[in-house]
Chains A and B, each alone.
Chain A
Amino acid sequence: MMKQYVLKRFFLLLPTFLGITGLTFFMLQLAPGDPAALKAQSFTELLADPQQTEAVVTETQKLYGLEKPLSLQYLLWLKRIVLFDFGESYRDHRPVMAKIAEALPITLLLNALTLLVIFVIAFPLGAYNALKPNSFHDRVSALFLFLLYSLPSFWFALLLIVLFAGGDYLNLFPLIGIFSDGAERLPWYGRIGNLLWHLILPVIVLSVANIAFLSRFVRASLVEVMKKEYIRTAYAKGLSPFQVMVKHAFKNALLPLVTLFGSLLPALLSGSVIVEQIFSIPGMGRLSFESVLARDYPVIMGITVMTATLMLISYFVTDIVYGFLDPRLRLHERRGL
């Protein structure tokens, strides 16, 4: 029965995948803006005979494969990606995979660090608040966290830059990029330190909103779990509240995080456009933004495929895990389908 369930879930991924890629593909092409025309954009050219311009644009379209009918283009593209060939970018003719491979590690690193910071701060905070719900410090930290959560990220980022990196007030941090000029000359531990130094401000901006969310979530979960009977048993056994929390409550409260982690992987890889734009970090967010503006179809499709695939995989895994844990869900699914 389990095998059937797994297989069924797996095959259902296919139409979703086709749906995502097809929708993106057609939407891109139907959106106004033609990459060939953008390249040939000739508002300032001498001797621009419109017939010649048109001929040249058509040539470029042929070069990009855009002159074929849409459905044919889509099918050709599908055929290629089955072989893992994502084509070349229109902007610089480098393989799409190479461009993604450049931007991905940076975004991964940034997000991993952000996650680290979030967990390290949010868990103790949430747990501490859950020990004494509705106490003074619970209320104060709730307010403070909400304040942080409600700031528009770009405003907060610029505020940090101005205060700590701008040269007008404090000048503690660098402003742009992920490495200083000349960082290659440093020893390996110096390079890591330099990298971290550059990433402090972006990580702060990215983590602030999510710390609020996660710590409230942890708190709410823990408070709920602490009311259960087996906790009272633990108390009866003589454990202190702290020990109770760590040994028993935590594990159960974290279960819902399975779903959260389900969307973690793709979120790790998508990158934040705003933060990357402000801090000049060449990650996935910036790549996606620039590609959309330049109508660089191959890159956009490549990023879509990657994000979609990873999300689907993680949903799939999450569903399987839940099906494993809770047999009733499996039955429900079967009845439903």
Chain B
Amino acid sequence: MKVSVIILLLMTLTALAAPFLANDRSFSSLLSPPIPYHPNSTDSDAILTPPNRSHLLGTDDIGRDVLAQLIWGTRISLSVGLVAMSIALTLGIFLGGIAGYFGGIWDLLISRLIEIFSCFPTFFFILALLSFVGPSLLNLMIVIGGTSWPGIARLVRAEFFRLREEEFVKAASALGAGSFRILFRHLLPNIVRPLVVIASFGIAAAILGEASLSFLGFGVRPEDPSWGSLLASGEAYWDVAWWLTLAPGSAIFLTVTAFNLLGESFRNR
């Protein structure tokens, strides 16, 4: 548990500080970036070079520094995970909560909506949406989030159904609390723990999903360095450039493991 938190904290810091860690220009005269390469700066003389003194993790097939890409890639991967999950959580809590608490016609409609979205062949949905709106980072996040919300909604709905009958809710209602107040102040806090579990695993899944989509050619734009696209482009050169797959693979692996362990520890508490 502690290990995960430390790892994730380090990742977040790296993500936030990326422009200062790896850049070919410095923002102040005092501190120049420790890694003097921008992820998109190409060096035609250093194509597929193994890790050495000037390129700590080697270069890729266009001459871009791998470590710089890895550092900047932290931003993309973390944000994909977090934003996608936030979208899924928002939609899920909102829709599931309404269905579970108010019931009636709302439940009827929203349950159908949940069924529709969970029966959808996920892959078609993602692909079609990405073709429709274009493969940008934001769209990727929206699409991944938009396909993960049904599970959350079902959980929230079931929980709210159950909790609705509890004494404390009835008491609050008797005291004159409005519906929304009950929802937010009383019901929501009770589902935080299972939601955190789902969120952690969901973020991990979103990061892996981004990598898989990049592999199939539907990932982020090439000027946005993501671990997934690095991994996907590196797989063709596995025998001459092991660093191209090892570096992003390990990064993905570490982050995903950290999130999964986090989720697991929450579940077991």
Is B124 in contact with A150, judged by CB distance below 8 angstroms? no
Smallest CB gap from A145: residue in B: B260
- In A46-105, the 8 Å CB interface with B consists of none
Known: A16-B112, A150-B252, A311-B119. A335 touches B103 (CB 8 A): yes
- In A12-58, the 8 Å CB interface with B consists of 12, 15-16, 19-20, 23-24, 27-28, 30-33
Mark the stretch among B22-30, B36-44, B167-175, B207-215 that contacts chain A.
Answer: B207-215
Please indicate the chain B residues that have their CB under 8 angstroms from the CB of A231 in the complex.
Answer: none
The answer to whether the Cβ of A194 comes within 8 Å of any Cβ in the partner chain is no
Is A16 in contact with B132, judged by CB distance below 8 angstroms? no
Is B119 in contact with A308, judged by CB distance below 8 angstroms? yes
Is A15 in contact with B112, judged by CB distance below 8 angstroms? yes
Task: Choose one: A150, A216, A304; the contact of B257 (CB below 8 Å).
Answer: A150
Please indicate the chain A residues that have their CB under 8 angstroms from the CB of B119 in the complex.
Answer: 16, 20, 266, 307-308, 311-312, 315
Known: A32-B132, A146-B261, A216-B264. A307 touches B249 (CB 8 A): no
Task: Choose one: A19, A32, A308; the contact of B112 (CB below 8 Å).
Answer: A19
Give A292 to B130 CA distance when docked, in angstroms.
Answer: 12
Smallest CB gap from B215: residue in A: A154
Q: How far is the CB of A323 from chain B (nearest CB, A)?
A: 14
Give A337 to B111 CA distance when docked, in angstroms.
Answer: 10
The answer to whether the Cβ of A112 comes within 8 Å of any Cβ in the partner chain is no
Mark the stretch among B61-69, B86-94, B231-239 that contacts chain A.
Answer: B231-239
Interface residues of chain B: helix, strand, loop or mixed (majority) = helix
Q: Kindly supply a per-residue 1/0 record for chain B positions 88-120, scoring 1 wherever the CB is within 8 Å of any chain A CB and 0 otherwise.
A: 000000000000000110011001110110111
Task: Choose one: A23, A142, A292, A337; the contact of B104 (CB below 8 Å).
Answer: A337
Known: A19-B112, A31-B132. A152 touches B208 (CB 8 A): yes
Q: How far is the CB of B144 from chain A (nearest CB, A)?
A: 15
The answer to whether the Cβ of A113 comes within 8 Å of any Cβ in the partner chain is no
Is A337 in contact with B107, judged by CB distance below 8 angstroms? yes
Where the two chains meet, the residues of A that have a C-beta atom closer than 8 Å to any C-beta of B are 12, 15-16, 19-20, 23-24, 27-28, 30-33, 142, 146-147, 149-155, 158, 162, 168, 216, 220, 266, 270, 273-274, 277, 285, 288-289, 292, 300, 303-304, 307-308, 311-312, 315, 332, 335-337
Q: A19-B112, A155-B211, A155-B235 are in contact. List 16 more A-B contacts (CB 8 A).
A: A12-B108, A12-B112, A19-B116, A24-B124, A146-B257, A147-B253, A150-B252, A150-B256, A150-B260, A152-B211, A154-B212, A158-B235, A274-B216, A304-B121, A308-B121, A311-B119
A-B contact pairs, 18 of them (CB 8 A): A16-B115, A24-B120, A27-B128, A27-B129, A31-B132, A154-B215, A154-B232, A155-B211, A155-B231, A155-B245, A162-B238, A273-B123, A289-B123, A292-B123, A312-B119, A315-B115, A335-B103, A336-B104
Where the two chains meet, the residues of B that have a C-beta atom closer than 8 Å to any C-beta of A are 103-104, 107-108, 111-113, 115-116, 118-121, 123-125, 127-129, 131-132, 161, 204, 208, 211-212, 215-216, 228, 231-232, 235, 238-239, 245, 249, 252-253, 256-257, 260-261, 264, 267-268
